[in-house]
Amino acid sequence: MTTPGNRAGGARPHRPTLQEVADRAGVSLKTASRALNREPHVAEATGERVRRAADELGFRLNALARELRSGATSTTAGLVIGDVGNPYYSRIARGVEREMDARGLQLITSSTDDDPERERVAVAGLLERRVAALLVVPSSEDHRYLEGERAHGLPVVFLDRPAGHIDADTFVLDDRAGARAAVEHLLEAGHERIGLVGDFSRLSTHRARVAGHADAMQAAGVQGWETYVRADCHDLDAAARGASDLLSLPEPPTALFTTNNRCTTGALRAVAGLPDRPEIVGFDDFDLADVLGVTVVAHDPEEMGRLAARAALARLDGDDSPPRTVVLPTRLVVRSAPGAPATGRESLGVRSGGRPSLAVARPRDAAPLLGADAASG
């Protein structure tokens, strides 16, 4: 026998309808609707009977449909991120969610794996749900498709990377300065052959961090550093391959700068068990980095999420000031590997005071840097 919650015989589960609730409660369809929406002028006993019937059948109101019919303000906000499984993005989402929750907005999060087409699909899905605000960690380089939504009053905020061809509130890290501090630390430790294992070369974060790497190497007068750059290492396996490729060179690097937490983890896998392990400095802190003694460029993803959410909520409240870009600080956290002598150095701040800098040049205004060509070595 097939019941509403049963897939016997390949039948799809039956979702109870409002008409079935009305029939069970012995009232009209209109009375059932008014009772479930707790509208006035419905007798208390009738309302209780309708709600009991709805519970027995497992009926739930379609909040989105109700909002669309009534013209009420949406109670949801949308967030598009790279990968919800990545602790960096999940911390951004946590920061956004807490701010939205405090305003009574439910956050809907969608992942793109940094694929531009998946970004468009994810954004379209959230727009169909009529979200009250949209926050995006961009993967594509052109966001003019969102101009119409912004023109109709939808708050659109970008995080981690700047948007392409659109002016909107943007919250990013000081990627270039953070990367430069990381490589300067390695240079001060006596390294000159410093490899770089980086993300997709098309991403602005990758380009800015390669720029910081270049700043430090060029200032130190190191020649031929481009030979040691490997890009497009987006996942752990690719990062491990990139690091292994560098270490197989006739003159392998003595240190590695990894441009995000995935690249760092992949590089650690590649060097595991090597008798002469290169020193690794990674962009992004991560769990167990302190135990492993990995020096990192640290920052606060939750704070980025909180600030971006507050900006979106301010726009909802009528803020019509010009769009702004907020660049959040990073700091170098110096650690020693287990068993190694302590360096005696404390964590170094890339920016003094640890406060965000406002209205500075967008990362895309930095010099265009090594992309896919650099990855070919």
Q: Tell me the pLDDT band of 37, cut-offs 50, 70 and 90.
A: confident
Q: How far apart are alpha carbons 178 and 101 in whole angstroms? A: 32
Phi-psi region of 352 (alpha: psi -120 to 50; beta: other; left: phi over 0): beta
Query: How many other C-beta atoms are found inside a 10 Å radius of the C-beta of residue 234?
Result: 22
| Residue with the larger pLDDT of the pair 24 and 128 | 24
Cβ atoms of residues 266 and 237 within 8 Å: yes
- The residues that bridge with 76 in the sheet, in sequence order, are 106
Mean pLDDT score across all residues of the chain: 86
The confidence score (pLDDT) of residue 357 equals 39
Type of residue at 49: R
pLDDT at residue 5 tops 70 = no
How much is the CA Rg of the chain, to the nearest whole Å? Answer: 26
pLDDT at residue 86 tops 80 = yes
Type of residue at 73: T
The confidence score (pLDDT) of residue 353 equals 35
pLDDT at residue 272 tops 60 = yes
pTM as predicted = 0.76
How does pLDDT run across 142-172, given as a tens digit for each residue?
Answer: 999 999 899 889 999 999 999 999 999 999 9
Q: Tell me the pLDDT band of 236, cut-offs 50, 70 and 90.
A: very high
pLDDT at residue 375 tops 80 = no
The fraction of the chain above a pLDDT of 70, given in percent, is: 82
Q: Tell me the pLDDT band of 46, cut-offs 50, 70 and 90.
A: very high
How does pLDDT run across 200-232, given as a tens digit for each residue?
Answer: 999 999 999 999 999 999 999 999 999 999 999
The confidence score (pLDDT) of residue 1 equals 36
Residue 225 per-residue DSSP state: G
Query: How many other C-beta atoms are found inside a 10 Å radius of the C-beta of residue 13?
Result: 11
Maximum C-alpha span of the chain: 85
Q: Tell me the pLDDT band of 39, cut-offs 50, 70 and 90.
A: confident
Cβ atoms of residues 129 and 76 within 8 Å: yes
Cβ atoms of residues 81 and 119 within 8 Å: no
Residues 335, 288, 204, 323, CA torsion sign: negative
How does pLDDT run across 307-360, given as a tens digit for each residue?
Answer: 999 999 999 999 999 999 999 999 999 998 665 544 444 444 443 333 343 433
The confidence score (pLDDT) of residue 11 equals 52
The confidence score (pLDDT) of residue 295 equals 98
Q: How far apart are alpha carbons 306 and 215 in whole angstroms? A: 31
Q: How far apart are alpha carbons 45 and 258 in whole angstroms? A: 66
Least confident of 10-14, 74-78, 197-201, 363-367: 363-367
Q: Tell me the pLDDT band of 65, cut-offs 50, 70 and 90.
A: low
The confidence score (pLDDT) of residue 40 equals 85
How does pLDDT run across 290-300, given as a tens digit for each residue?
Answer: 999 999 999 99
Q: How far apart are alpha carbons 146 and 178 in whole angstroms? A: 31
The confidence score (pLDDT) of residue 84 equals 87
Give the mean model confidence (pLDDT) for residues 95-106. Answer: 96
Report the half-sphere exposure of 323 (CA within 13 A, side-chain side).
Answer: 16
pLDDT at residue 175 tops 70 = yes
Q: Tell me the pLDDT band of 64, cut-offs 50, 70 and 90.
A: low
The confidence score (pLDDT) of residue 258 equals 98
Least confident of 34-38, 75-79, 201-205: 34-38
| Residue with the larger pLDDT of the pair 367 and 21 | 21
Q: How far apart are alpha carbons 86 and 94 in whole angstroms? A: 12
- The CA-CA-CA angle for residues 349, 351, 356, to 5°, reads 125
Q: How far apart are alpha carbons 132 and 151 in whole angstroms? A: 14
